Amino acid sequence: MSGIIIPTAFSMPHKHNRSKRHHIPKQRYKLNNWSDYNQALKNRGRLDLWFSNDIESWWHHEVRIYDGTGSSPLYTDQAILTCHEIRAIFKLPLRQVEGFINSLFEMLDLPLKCPNYTVLCRRLSTLNVSIPGDRKKPQHEDDTVAIAFDSTGLKRYGRDEWHQEKHKVASKRSWRKMHLAVGDDHFIYGAKLTDKDTMDEQVIDDLCEQIADVPVSQATGDMGYDQNHVYTSIQAHFPEADIVIPTKQHLNYNESNHPKRCSNMLEIAAKGMLSWQAAHHYGKRNSSEMAMQRYKRIFGVRLHAREMSNQEQEMMIACGVMNRFTAIGMPQSYRTR
C-alpha cells in the first residue's frame, strides 16, 4: 500500500500563509475597581433570606369573590412575580420552585405557602410585565444615556441537537428573537420577544416607547437597522439623539432617504468607515453585545416556557433580574494596549 502525502496547504488551511496575514493585536484592559467588582460578584451568589414585615398582607388577596363563575385568584400578582424571579435566578423547574419557597417559609415560621406549580404556569402570562424592571433612573436632569439596539436568538422548549443527531430525528425546535435596547451603563431599558421571522426594524417603535422617559443622547445599531423607518422613529422619540447606524453599501443619495441617513452616508464616504465610527463613538454599541452575552450566561440560551405569552413574560422578568445584578456592581475598565 503506497503512502499518500497530503500537502500542508490542504491539511491545515487555517494556518497556511499565516505569516502573510494582517494581524490585529488583541486589546487588553485593566480594572480600576477590582476590589468592588470582586465583592459584587460574590454578592450575586449570596443567599440572604429576608422578607418584608408586611409579606403576609400582600401575598394573598384579602377578599375573594365567589360569583358562580369561579373564585377570584388567591395569590397576588406580586407573589407570582416573586416566585418567577426566584426561578430565573436559580434556574429551577416550577415544581422545584414550589418546594424551594415552601422550605423558606418553613424555616422562617411564616404561615404562607407557595402557589402550586400549575398556578405559577397559568398566571405567568397574566402578569403583563411591559418593561424590564429595576431600571436605573437618572439622578440629575442632565444625565443622559447612549442606547444600543440589537437582537439575538433564544431556543424554544424542546429536544436539543444531541438528541436529533443520535436518534436521526427531524428537528421540530425553533427559536425566538429577543430584541434589546441597552444603555451604555449596561442597564436594559427596553426588551421585546418576537418570532424568528420578525425583522429588527419592525420592533423599533416598541423599544423606543419603553424608554421614552429616559433622556437619550445617542442611538446606535448595526447595519440591519439602516432603514428610513428606524431613523424616523428614533428621531420622533429622541429629537436630540445622535443616530449612529452604518449605511448599507451602494446606497444612493436621494431626497427619499432620511436626512440623517444621507448625512451618515456622505460622512462615511468622505472619512471612511473606521474614522466615522471613531468620531461618533460607535464602540458604545458593544453594550448591547455584552448584555446579550450576559443574558445567555446567566439564564441560558433557551426558554423554559412553552407558550409564546409565557415566554414573553419569562424573558422580561429575566431582564429585570439582570438589571438588579447590574445595580450590584459592574467592572470599570480602561485600555492598556
Range with the poorest average pLDDT among 52-61, 68-77, 189-198? 68-77
Closest among 37, 322, 317 to 188, alpha carbons compared: 322
pLDDT at 194: 94
Give yes or no: residues 94 and 65 share one domain. yes
Give yes or no: residues 68 and 187 share one domain. no
Among all chains, which residue has been given the C-alpha cell 369573590?
Answer: 65
Q: What domain count does the chain have?
A: 2
Give yes or no: residues 120 and 149 share one domain. no
Domain boundary among 124, 159, 192: 124
pLDDT digit string (tens) for 18-44? 676 767 777 888 888 888 888 888 887
Closest among 335, 336, 328 to 43, alpha carbons compared: 328
Give yes or no: residues 72 and 164 share one domain. no
**In this structure, is residue 317 part of a structural domain?**
yes
Average pLDDT over residues 216-222: 94
> Do residues 43 and 328 touch, judged by C-beta distance below 8 A?
yes
Closest among 196, 214, 215, 211 to 154, alpha carbons compared: 196
Give the ranges where the chain is alpha helix by DSSP (H).
8-11, 34-44, 55-58, 77-90, 94-107, 117-124, 161-167, 204-210, 228-237, 259-271, 273-279, 286-299, 308-328
Residue 220 binned pLDDT confidence (cut-offs 50, 70, 90): very high
Query: What single string gives the DSSP state of each residue in 153-218?
Result: EEEPSS--HHHHHHHT------EEEEEEEEETTS-EEEEEEEETT--GGGGHHHHHHHTTTS-EEE
Give yes or no: residues 83 and 185 share one domain. no
Give yes or no: residues 155 and 234 share one domain. yes
Residue 209 binned pLDDT confidence (cut-offs 50, 70, 90): very high
Give yes or no: residues 288 and 256 share one domain. yes
Q: Report the predicted TM-score, pTM, of the whole model to 2 decimal places.
A: 0.81
More confident position, 188 or 164 = 188
Residue 166 binned pLDDT confidence (cut-offs 50, 70, 90): confident
Residue 10 binned pLDDT confidence (cut-offs 50, 70, 90): very low
User: CA 329 to CA 327: how far, in whole Å?
Assistant: 5
**Percentage with pLDDT > 70 across the chain:** 88
Range with the poorest average pLDDT among 49-63, 134-148, 181-195? 134-148
**In this structure, is residue 9 part of a structural domain?**
no
14: DSSP letter: T
Give yes or no: residues 160 and 302 share one domain. yes
Average pLDDT over residues 233-237: 94
DSSP SS3 for 304? coil
pLDDT at 13: 54
* Domain with 108 in it: 34-124
> Do residues 157 and 302 touch, judged by C-beta distance below 8 A?
yes
Average pLDDT over residues 142-161: 83
Average pLDDT over residues 195-222: 91
User: CA 174 to CA 154: how far, in whole Å?
Assistant: 9
User: CA 79 to CA 91: how far, in whole Å?
Assistant: 18
Which residues contact residue 278 at a Cβ distance below 8 angstroms, ignoring those fewer than 6 apart? Answer: none
33: DSSP letter: -
**In this structure, is residue 52 part of a structural domain?**
yes
Among all chains, which residue has been given the C-alpha cell 431613523?
Answer: 231
